[in-house]
Amino acid sequence: MRLLWRPILMQLYSFLTFIIIASGEILGSSTPALQCNVLDQMPDNAIAEKKMVFYQAHKFVKYQYLECLIDALIKAVNSGFYFCSKFKDIYDEDYFISTLENIVRVVDKIPGYLMERYDNNMTNVHNFRVKAWAPVQYYRDVVLPRLLEERVIRISPFANRLSFDVPPAVQRLRCLANYEALRFSNPILTMGETLVARMKERSASHGGKYVSVHLRFEEDMVAFSCCVFDGGEQEAKDMKAARERGWKGKFTKPGRTIRPGAIRLNGKCPLTPLEVGLMLRGMGFDKNTYIYLASGKIYNSEKYMAPLLEMFPNLLTKDLLALDEELDPFKNYSSRMAAIDYTVCLHSEVFVTTQGGNFPHFLMGHRRFLYGGHSKTIRPDKRKLAMLFDNLKIEWKSFKRHMLNMRSHSDSKGFEIKRPNDSIYSFPCPDCMCHVNRTEDSRSSSPT
């Protein structure tokens, strides 16, 4: 099972509508049966967010007799065209339904007699705008009575709408949806596992072990960060255009002050490919290390990727590992391309994250789940990195010592027990790892 990643395309609305049709038991209530409909309309490259929404959806429902309608309409804009992915295009729908069948019944449409009450118009259905991280009590006391009265309700948006502090039965359902029920569709799964096999074959001289790096240096990320890199005229022009294109005035509001230097010192700037290369070499990864790079289109890649490729000539991407005709079915769908990256990163010996976001957080949790609680994941201290990179007098010996300490600290954090307010998506132990007996099949195909 695998998961995916990040949002983009700010102009395209992206919302999840959760429609719940009443007549059953929810959150411990002993009322009649219950149905729920998931209409998921999100950009095609917002998969991590989409997957989180499905976790939230199923964890919010506690016991049996809940029916869920999934019509996952994921709208994407790519190269100026609209491309649609349905839930079954990305995930194994049959497996999802069968895994949850004893707890959540999934159906493909809302009964007509119920929608007739609303003139068959979903906008007429009452929508709850639930506050983020709402407690279970809110659903019992506020949502459920309205649900039983109306028979159909919507909850939009739904991501992060339920607290992590929930009863054990709800938490187990959250784990089931997260780590067992969601897995990629067969085409994505097959392509991803094919690339894993090719990476292991390429790195056979290293025991089939490779390092995966999630590099966030796409134009939209560079623009959104408001950081300054080469400081050139062309960069300034490109970033100004990208911000206006993506966020229309968000960064030019009167009174808004942007301080790139302060942003960098606060560790909020995306690492450049050069900085990633220096960091990895300092951590002890030599020139012969095999690296899989998970990334979108790197900003000004010819310039910025050159030093990283010089330091690590065995750097590979899905485009280098796969034939054009193999990737053709996925190329117009950034979610599906991200799923392939996710799969290859999942099975790497070491995973290196260079920026925050759902993709690395889910991946860390999934790797912990698969590898018995421990996973080799490098999460660099970007505040410290900024100070070190900006210190022009630092010697390589001193820089390397700092990098080795940083790597050692990351290794020691591989196995971590979830604290009360931590996310089970990043910290599955003990909640999701002490109640299930995973088969070898689930180890190879479970989500996060």
Tens-digit pLDDT profile for residues 101-113: 888 777 777 888 8
Beta bridge partners of 18: 38, 155
What pLDDT is attached to residue 110?
Answer: 80
What pLDDT is attached to residue 84?
Answer: 54
What pLDDT is attached to residue 424?
Answer: 85
What pLDDT is attached to residue 160?
Answer: 82
What is the rounded distance in angstroms from the CA atom of residue 328 to the CA atom of residue 79? Answer: 15
pLDDT less than 50: residues of the chain: 1-43, 59-67, 70-83, 436-448
* Backbone torsions φ then ψ of 279, nearest 5 degrees: -60, -50
What pLDDT is attached to residue 438?
Answer: 47
Beta bridge partners of 40: 16, 72
What pLDDT is attached to residue 317?
Answer: 97
What pLDDT is attached to residue 198?
Answer: 98
Tens-digit pLDDT profile for residues 4-23: 322 222 222 222 334 444 43
What pLDDT is attached to residue 418?
Answer: 85
What pLDDT is attached to residue 260?
Answer: 94
